[in-house]
Amino acid sequence: MSRRGGSQSGGVPWPGGLRAWARRHAYSLLSSLGALVRHPVASLMTVVVLAITLSLPTGLYMTLENAERISDGWERLDTISVFLDAELEERDAMQLASKLSARPGIVAVDPISPQAGMAELTGRLRLDDVSEQIETNPLPWVLEVTPESGQNPETLSRRLQEADGVDQVVIDLQWLERLQAILAVLERLAIVLGVLFAVAVAFVIGNTIRMDIQNRREEIRVLSLVGATDGFVRRPFLYSGFWYGLAGGLTAWLLIEIALLALSGPVGRLSGAYASDFALASPPLEIIAVLILGSGILGIVGSWLAVSRHLRGL
């Protein structure tokens, strides 16, 4: 930008060319860092606000990632219940079971006798005396089919339905579908919040830079009096915005890691109580990179907004 400005001024090139350009950039970079360090408390407060703002959507995203990992484990536990025709005897049921278990896409077939089914039902409903009162067991043989993970349960159930002797196929996926729908809603919510909070970060930084510009009005005036280009005046503020964003992103990462550490004990005890070895996962490297670099870029965007609005006409 500054180089373009130079070539427009009637063929008078900027002194020193590329190296001078690099030196001016180095000066802007150092002076922007210096400005932050000169007001440590104010800078720190801005960075903490940014870090909290950034850690909220990232934390929600991490919670969902972990929840999805748990529910992935549950999906494998899902079985398809194949109700056989009532007139089928034990021998037919066993034959069908071994036939089905040889089919691709099926891990295991577990036959449940009408007696076992009745026992489970009465046990679950606490109707211990019902079985005694019913003379003939109305339940048919049931085959509990465990599909391979990744199999579409719907297609599998349709194929099972076509087999001889099968009365009805029941998949109890509703609760899992509901859970996944809830997770999908929350995931969308995390994205919406992420966008909103990103905008908030840009505006917080923009506002900080705006105040910075106001405090340094005299400096800007003097710089332009001694021949600084708009680009030279603008650059330290853009760098400041970038530093704010970068520091905010780094601190947000730190906050998330601290939160995970604080939660790991209780979560470990909880999953232990369910005989699971589930543990909270740290954010993956690409999420951290997006968080830190993204907030750095948001910083530049925010300060650009402030600079382009408040530096004009000085």
Partner 1 sequence: MVTSEHMIRFEQVAKRYPGGIQALGDISFELGRGEMVFLTGRSGAGKSTLLKLIALLERPSRGRVLFDGRNVGRLSRRQIPWLRRQIGIVFQEHALLSDRRVFDNVALPLVIAGVAYPEIRRRVRAALDKVGLLDKERSYPPMLSGGQQQRVGIARAIVAKPSLLLADEPTGNLDPELSAELMQFFVSLHELGTTVLIASHDLDLIRRLQRRVLVLKDGTLADDVPAKQVTVS
Contact residue for partner 1 among 61, 141, 232, 242 (CB under 8 A): 232
217 is a contact residue toward partner 1 (CB under 8 A): no
- When the beta carbons of 150 and 313 are compared against partner 1, the nearer one is 313
Contact residue for partner 1 among 53, 55, 229, 303 (CB under 8 A): 229
9 is a contact residue toward partner 1 (CB under 8 A): yes
- When the beta carbons of 232 and 304 are compared against partner 1, the nearer one is 232
Residues 268-297 that bind partner 1 (CB under 8 A): none
- When the beta carbons of 11 and 104 are compared against partner 1, the nearer one is 11
Residues 6+ apart with CB under 8 A from 54: 197, 201, 248, 249, 252, 291, 295
138 is a contact residue toward partner 1 (CB under 8 A): no
Per-residue binding letters, 12-31, with partner 1 (x by CB under 8 A): x-xxx--xxxxxx--x----
Residues 99-118 that bind partner 1 (CB under 8 A): none
Q: Are 64 and 190 in contact, with CB atoms under 8 Å apart?
A: yes
- When the beta carbons of 218 and 277 are compared against partner 1, the nearer one is 218
The count of residues interacting with partner 1 (CB under 8 A) is: 31
Contact residue for partner 1 among 121, 192, 199, 222 (CB under 8 A): 222
- When the beta carbons of 226 and 275 are compared against partner 1, the nearer one is 226
Which structure tokens are listed for 170? Answer: 């029941």
40 is a contact residue toward partner 1 (CB under 8 A): no
- As a whole number of angstroms, the distance between CA 123 and CA 289 comes to 53
Residues 170-199 that bind partner 1 (CB under 8 A): none
| Interface positions with partner 1 (CB under 8 A) | 5-6, 8-12, 14-16, 19-24, 27, 38, 218-219, 221-230, 232
